[in-house]
């Protein structure tokens, strides 16, 4: 409750008291009219400002007109009670919106306003405004991190859910990046400050959520257009009712039910709640327009490398020759490769480490450019490289059919081939399930766009069940591919791993960038940004979008349409009067609000809840 809200409470109570005193003949009519003027002033002011600045006629204008007509028609009590009830309704709506925004911020999280900073050899608690870049901030278990920065000392488990939506705490050590608003659950960290205050990732997320409503969705613009042409229709209708009935009470009642104000409430709150819910899951949506388009998308175009796949090579198959064991093969291969900086070498060492194989240090190491590596491991001469290298070294290899699209590294020990490591960029573990979930949500086609060769693209596409594959594409060719897909009349979403796919992301109706935590440029380039590389977040984003779109439809058709139509019919049949109409008028406002804020608490299928499907 702000000071402004308390003033509104005082005005409502004051006017209500005057109306009650007049009803029991305690005060004369001029006092009542003065009280009505005091109560009507804020409504008339807001209505006129909306009319002048935005050319919008809302509840305030309608209520002002209805109250004035009631006063002129000497329906003093009805007009005054109507105004008081509408003041109460407006106050409740404003208070609920304030609370909704507050709960949105609470769901996203918060940042401490003080930080423990190491200055001149001592640890001092400072206001966040006094923390500078390069300061060392100390954060202990159970505390929130107040800045974006790099860990310089310590180890800890950090809950990053407020930023990335990850449900499992991440282990952080020296050199790791951490974000403001995340929580140290176990351990302690010394963090070198890189960003503070409004420059942090948390601040950017909150700013996106708060301003996202400025980007109106098409359905929201439609509601505004409907309200614009509905006004003259309503006025003609009311004049007709007055002409045939001469019933002033009926006209006042109809004025209340024909107000198009709820059309303006039906969409914005849904968009705010849905965008906040997405942010809580580590999904940043730039505005309502993209949320609605994502709900209507029927074709998804995926980049391959780094999006559907991990973006780095890994050993996917091991082939042994003779009596060499798998552990022995990995031990020799990893020992020979451990000094190399080549991505394939790193993949071999990672596979050996994952298999708990002891990897010794080679006594000698030599890189043969374009061929491979020669090393001495435990007195054995190890060769690791392509087939040409081993053949040139006099080592016989079994013939191969050449159809394998995987990268192969031959391993030989003491002039004898002992095995082959097959490497590839593996698909993401959750990719197949995520694509199936997207198909179940109404996606008609999933297309893979890649600059990689056709053989590799076909292998990945077959593994994931992709509908169409376009390989050997340069960046401009990806843009042309998006245009061809759009030419069929469907909305197309493009999913890529950030800046590299920027042209195609910009061409698509919805551009979705993956894994952009901490990357300002990638966030700005995309319409939707996923803070992690979790591809299931795409299905989560679409689930939120579809739920939001259905909620808007419910608000418009049920919360506004049905209630108002029934109210108009009841008024025409003289079942209700102005006071009852004003009380019933609370219904759509409350219904729209409650239906909208449910989105903030919605559970996603990926969280184990039963999902809600759209018709």
Neighbours of 343 (CB within 10 A): 12
Q: Rounded distance, CA 197 to CA 209, Å?
A: 17
Strand partners, 446: 300
Three-state secondary structure string covering 316-374: EEEEECCCCCHHHHHHHHHHHHCCCCCHHHHHHHHHHHHCCCCCCCCCEEEEECCCEEE
Helix segments in 418-510, DSSP class H: 431-440, 454-464, 475-486, 502-507
Q: Rounded distance, CA 507 to CA 25, Å?
A: 70
At 146, give phi and psi (nearest 5°): -90, -10
Q: Concatenate the DSSP letters of all residues of 2-37 into one string.
A: -HHHHHHHHHHHHHHHHHHHHHTTSS-HHHHHHHHH
Rg (CA), the chain: 33
- Distances in Å between the Cα of 283 and the Cα atoms of 319, 438, 467 are 41, 16, 26
Q: Rounded distance, CA 403 to CA 419, Å?
A: 18
Measured over the CA atoms of residue 30, residue 33, residue 39 and residue 43, the dihedral's sign is negative
Q: Is 303 a catalytic residue?
A: yes
Strand partners, 283: 530
**3-state percent breakdown (helix, strand, coil) of the chain, nearest 5:** 55, 20, 25
Neighbours of 365 (CB within 10 A): 18
135, 303, 425, 534: which is the annotated catalytic residue?
303
At 302, give phi and psi (nearest 5°): -110, 135
Q: Are 269 and 222 in contact (CB under 8 A)?
A: no
* Cβ contacts of 614 within 8 Å, gap of 6 or more: 295, 441, 442, 546, 547, 549, 550
**Helix or strand or coil: residue 275?**
helix
Helix (H) or strand (E) holding 389: helix 387-392
Catalytic residue list: 303
């Amino acid at each position: 409750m702000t000071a402004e809200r308390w003033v509104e409470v005082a005005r409502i109570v004051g006017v209500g008291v005057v109306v009650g005193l007049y009803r029991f003949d305690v005060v004369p009519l001029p006092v009542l009219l003065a009280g009505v003027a005091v109560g009507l002033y804020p409504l008339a002011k807001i209505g006129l400002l909306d009319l002048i600045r935005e050319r919008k006629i809302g509840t305030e204008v309608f209520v002002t007109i209805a109250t004035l007509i009631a006063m002129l028609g000497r329906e003093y009590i009805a007009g005054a009670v109507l105004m008081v009830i509408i003041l109460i309704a407006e106050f409740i709506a404003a208070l609920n919106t304030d609370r909704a925004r507050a709960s949105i911020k609470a769901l996203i999280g918060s940042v401490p306003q003080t930080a423990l900073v190491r200055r001149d050899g001592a640890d001092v608690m400072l206001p966040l405004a006094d923390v500078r870049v390069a300061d060392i901030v100390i954060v202990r278990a159970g505390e929130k991190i107040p800045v974006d920065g790099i860990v310089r000392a310590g180890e800890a488990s950090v809950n990053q859910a407020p930023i990335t939506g990850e449900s499992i705490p991440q282990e952080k050590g020296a050199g790791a990046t951490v974000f403001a608003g995340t929580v140290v659950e176990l351990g302690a960290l010394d963090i070198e400050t890189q960003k503070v205050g409004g420059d942090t990732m948390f601040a950017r997320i909150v700013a996106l959520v708060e301003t996202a409503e400025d980007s109106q969705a098409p359905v929201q613009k439609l509601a505004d257009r409907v309200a614009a042409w509905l006004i003259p229709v309503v006025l003609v209708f009311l004049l007709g009712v007055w002409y045939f009935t001469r019933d002033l009470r009926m006209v006042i009642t109809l004025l209340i039910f024909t107000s198009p104000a709820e059309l303006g409430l039906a969409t914005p709150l849904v968009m705010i709640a849905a965008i906040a819910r997405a942010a809580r899951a580590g999904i940043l949506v730039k505005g309502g327009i993209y949320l609605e388009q994502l709900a209507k998308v029927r074709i998804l175009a995926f980049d391959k490398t780094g999006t559907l796949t991990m973006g780095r090579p890994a050993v996917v198959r091991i082939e042994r020759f003779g009596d060499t064991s798998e552990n022995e093969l990995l031990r020799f291969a990893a020992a020979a490769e451990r000094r190399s900086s080549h991505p394939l070498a790193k993949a071999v060492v990672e596979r050996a480490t994952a298999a708990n194989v002891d990897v010794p240090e080679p006594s000698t190491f030599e890189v043969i450019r374009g061929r491979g590596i020669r090393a001495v491991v435990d007195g054995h001469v190890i060769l690791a490289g392509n087939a040409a290298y081993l053949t040139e070294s006099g080592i016989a290899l079994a013939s191969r059919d050449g159809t394998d699209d995987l990268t192969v590294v031959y391993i030989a020990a003491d002039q004898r081939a002992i095995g082959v490591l097959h490497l590839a960029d593996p698909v993401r573990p959750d990719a197949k399930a995520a694509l199936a979930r997207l198909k179940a949500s109404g996606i008609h086609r999933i297309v893979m766009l890649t600059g990689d060769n056709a053989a590799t693209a076909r292998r990945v596409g077959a593994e994931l069940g992709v509908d169409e594959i376009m390989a050997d594409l340069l960046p401009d060719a990806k843009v042309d591919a998006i245009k061809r897909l759009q030419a069929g009349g469907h909305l197309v979403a493009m999913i890529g791993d950030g800046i590299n796919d920027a042209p195609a992301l910009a061409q698509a109706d919805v551009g979705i960038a993956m894994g952009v935590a901490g990357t300002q440029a990638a966030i700005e380039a995309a319409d939707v940004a996923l803070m992690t590389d979790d591809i299931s977040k795409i299905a989560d984003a679409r689930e939120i979008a579809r739920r939001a779109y259905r909620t808007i439809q419910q608000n418009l058709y049920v919360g506004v349409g049905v209630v108002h139509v029934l109210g108009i019919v009841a008024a025409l049949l003289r079942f209700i009067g102005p006071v009852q109409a004003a009380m019933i008028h609370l219904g759509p406002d409350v219904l729209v609000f409650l239906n909208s804020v449910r989105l903030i608490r919605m559970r996603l299928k990926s969280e184990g809840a039963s999902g809600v499907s759209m018709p």
